[in-house]
Structure 1
């Protein structure tokens, strides 16, 4: 039974009021946006350990899922590493579905109604994001925020790639990076004695004994529900809640909204640990043979709640030398570089070499396409990596101790000696995430990985990468598990086997 879903119509109605010149383009983009979200959902349905799927198997020209209630779901043979939208429809018993939200609603699985609403919003917002793009983007942007704003489609594998519940059309156009706005951050004064401050909080963000905390305008309007003082003009980056200020500083703001999967607030423990993690990042970079730079945290502040906090970080562009460019790995797909198999193999060798070296030392990076950046030479060759935001790494005290690396006082949630947890963190983010998203298909990923792994030192971690299924976060299962804590995982076919 098709149930009414409203996000597409609501966006169309709002768009006709605030940007009528985009209405026709939005309508034209909707079918492709639905297919993009449906392709991501099909990846989850065919590979994640969903409790209501009894079995999966090849069937004719595709694959059939047998559900525990007796129904059958049939669709194309899946490529779990594909970034192109190749799934335009699937069949639930004899009924075809081309809208992912309607499919999820009619599956009628536990907690599926909420996910269906998010999928509806994801497809509508994705169409809106694509509708607002210029016809011919500049091939090589001059600024860091222009690179970030080229990532229009969001997460390459998450069905909620563009879900922004709570954001109106006007707010998306005014605040979302792919629409290239200038955003006015508020500054909320908080007495210094009421704040936790780490690092050097800049003089221009102080007013006598008061700290001026940068606040995202959405947060001010919807969470703090208060006007903010005269603020800072900034360019929104890929994560939406992080913005580039004039100069070489990025500011991460609290944004208590669910974007993709997570609520983007800033916890008090993360502010407290920020400078310790920053110093630890410098230690890691020093052991990378000059192949990795970790952006420094300059300062962090909170009033004691996750709703009012900010972190200032060094811009990755500070890591680029003369003639070099630094861009997020997620933005590589907007260039012609990954279409060269030799370039992609060289990038895979660089990224895997650095990631495995740090894993051997005892640190698993969450090296997805947003956190991991690449420095390109003047000819476009990948020469170094940049990593930002250490909040979700995993650290093994036992491995660090074996290599004589002092173990800093880190938040308990990132400390583990569990080898499975360490490998999942790195392989799931780097190989199944950043490298797969850049390659765009299983065949291209395999062609990039095979020459890279032949040249890397033979370690137990590399052996595990080559011999076992590839871990990836079960993103859809996690959205269907409300109240769950921690990551849930799926296994993908290993492109190296």
Structure 2
């Protein structure tokens, strides 16, 4: 936890950090009021580095939350409480893992449940406010439970349905909306829901794979996980079918190297707290002998430990995603949304992307390629070049690729290999030139009154 926090303090544009002094092997932050915070020189892309201690005005600090309290910065008390919660949750997650070697997962949901430490760089990597220890054990994917979803019946006249809502989730003139049991107990607090399907929780916690197969179920979960409250907006439901059909059509330009998991149906009771989305499972795009693995689950595996494999994967990921960006769509291709289809031997063959709720679509770029923009307005639509590049670069390059590599040196090698295979576009040149944008996740948690994302620039590993 302290390692993640120190990385944030070293690189994010925090208003109370007046200057940074770099020396061989060390970094000093000069703070307001003449205070000094000293620690080891950080690797901005490392996932395995361990920072055991930093010194504030000469006093050692070894606990992330206590350091934030000692800094006495605006909104620091609330952030320190979140860090305590995340630290305890991370310890619980690690303590619950099986001992000894495990066989390789046979299914995608088993791969997802191998991700124990959460977000690779966020200090709130395992923050689950509102969840008791018992609820984390019952619902969190790394504890490998089976969760029984609830079904809330709502009169059809009182809901918005987009796409095909299946008959088994209807009851006469009522629509049955799947709900997470935590949401039913803590947020809806009404009459108990009907029993629904048993399901395996995925990395996103609120999205689950039914035990009996079929579409994945994305539920509303109105608590803050890492940075965002995970409800489902009416805008996402209203635009679900249009965005899904548009994205599926766009993949025809990618020679079979990218698949988008289709949104099959979406429903809302005109409340972000009571809504659900049914999504095609990623396994639909695996052939005989192939596996579909979330990129986040590959860190620390023998595959990710191979420089040759990382280079091959970077060539696939960057060539595809930069092509999609040039066409006019910025994918939020972090390690949770981006999956890779592997051959029986482990070679990366194709990409699968899921969850279209936060992509960005550029009508101007689409028009340059003779493509029609979908009939959309609102937050998904923008021609802002900076915003489009931040969306992809921050999630794919500085997120999925960097975390898989685990260090600046290894990331630099794979990034160089990937850029050599990428299309010769202005976006490719911008990524090559650096710096790399990333969400300033700690600044965002310390700025509760500032809406939207805030950003930091990391030095290029090239």
When the two structures are superposed, what TM-score results if normalisation uses the length of structure 1? 0.91
| 1:408-447 equivalences in 2 (<5 Å) | 408-447=374-413
Q: Select the residue among 228, 241, 246 that pairs with 1:262.
A: 228
Instruction: Look up the match of 1:398.
Output: 364
Cα deviations by residue, 1:92-132 (Å, 9 ceiling, x for unpaired): 01111110000011111001111100011111100000000
Task: Report the 3-state secondary structure (helix = DSSP H, G, I; strand = E; otherwise coil) of the residue aligned with 1:338.
Answer: coil
Task: Report the 3-state secondary structure (helix = DSSP H, G, I; strand = E; otherwise coil) of the residue aligned with 1:347.
Answer: helix
Q: Does 1:236 align with 2:194?
A: no
CA contact (8 A) 1:71 1:92 kept: yes
Q: Distance in 1 between matches of 2:183 and 2:394?
A: 31
Task: Report the 3-state secondary structure (helix = DSSP H, G, I; strand = E; otherwise coil) of the residue aligned with 1:256.
Answer: strand
Instruction: Look up the match of 1:110.
Output: 74
Instruction: Look up the match of 2:121.
Output: 157
Go from structure 1 to structure 2 and tell me whether the alpha carbon gap of 1:409 and 1:138 turns closer, same or farther (over 3 Å shift). Answer: farther
Instruction: Look up the match of 1:307.
Output: 273
Instruction: Look up the match of 1:371.
Output: 337
Per-residue deviation at 1:455? Answer: 2.8
Any stretches of 5+ residues in structure 2 without a counterpart? none
Go from structure 1 to structure 2 and tell me whether the alpha carbon gap of 1:381 and 1:60 turns closer, same or farther (over 3 Å shift). Answer: closer
Higher mean displacement: 193-202 or 329-338 = 329-338
Per-residue deviation at 1:218? Answer: 0.5
Task: Report the 3-state secondary structure (helix = DSSP H, G, I; strand = E; otherwise coil) of the residue aligned with 1:79.
Answer: coil
Q: Does 1:63 align with 2:27?
A: yes
Higher mean displacement: 265-274 or 128-137 = 128-137
Instruction: Look up the match of 2:3.
Output: 39
CA contact (8 A) 1:75 1:91 kept: yes
Task: Report the 3-state secondary structure (helix = DSSP H, G, I; strand = E; otherwise coil) of the residue aligned with 1:287.
Answer: helix
Per-residue deviation at 1:452? Answer: 2.3
Q: Distance in 2 between matches of 1:265 and 1:394?
A: 19
Q: Distance in 1 between matches of 2:376 and 2:209?
A: 27
Per-residue deviation at 1:137? Answer: 5.1
Per-residue deviation at 1:139? Answer: 3.9
Per-residue deviation at 1:231? Answer: 1.6
Cα deviations by residue, 1:153-207 (Å, 9 ceiling, x for unpaired): 0000000000111100000000000000010111000000101001111111111
Instruction: Look up the match of 1:187.
Output: 151
| 1:63-462 equivalences in 2 (<5 Å) | 63-136=27-100, 138-226=102-190, 227-245=192-210, 246-462=212-428
Go from structure 1 to structure 2 and tell me whether the alpha carbon gap of 1:232 and 1:137 turns closer, same or farther (over 3 Å shift). Answer: farther
Give the count of matched residue pairs: 460
Per-residue deviation at 1:483? Answer: 2.4
Q: Distance in 1 between matches of 2:385 and 2:127?
A: 33
Go from structure 1 to structure 2 and tell me whether the alpha carbon gap of 1:137 and 1:285 turns closer, same or farther (over 3 Å shift). Answer: farther
Task: Report the 3-state secondary structure (helix = DSSP H, G, I; strand = E; otherwise coil) of the residue aligned with 1:414.
Answer: coil
CA contact (8 A) 1:248 1:318 kept: no
Cα deviations by residue, 1:202-231 (Å, 9 ceiling, x for unpaired): 111111110111110100110001311122
Q: Distance in 2 between matches of 1:62 and 1:121?
A: 29
| 1:17-36 equivalences in 2 (<5 Å) | none
CA contact (8 A) 1:49 1:477 kept: yes
Cα deviations by residue, 1:355-380 (Å, 9 ceiling, x for unpaired): 11011101110000000000000110
Q: Distance in 2 between matches of 1:366 and 1:160?
A: 20
Q: Distance in 1 between matches of 2:223 and 2:315?
A: 37
Per-residue deviation at 1:60? Answer: 5.5
Q: Distance in 1 between matches of 2:334 and 2:41?
A: 26
Any stretches of 5+ residues in structure 1 without a counterpart? 1-36
Go from structure 1 to structure 2 and tell me whether the alpha carbon gap of 1:352 and 1:108 turns closer, same or farther (over 3 Å shift). Answer: same
Cα deviations by residue, 1:213-262 (Å, 9 ceiling, x for unpaired): 11101001100013111221110000100000121310000000001110
Q: Does 1:483 align with 2:449?
A: yes
Cα deviations by residue, 1:323-355 (Å, 9 ceiling, x for unpaired): 000010000114210111010000001000011
Task: Report the 3-state secondary structure (helix = DSSP H, G, I; strand = E; otherwise coil) of the residue aligned with 1:437.
Answer: helix
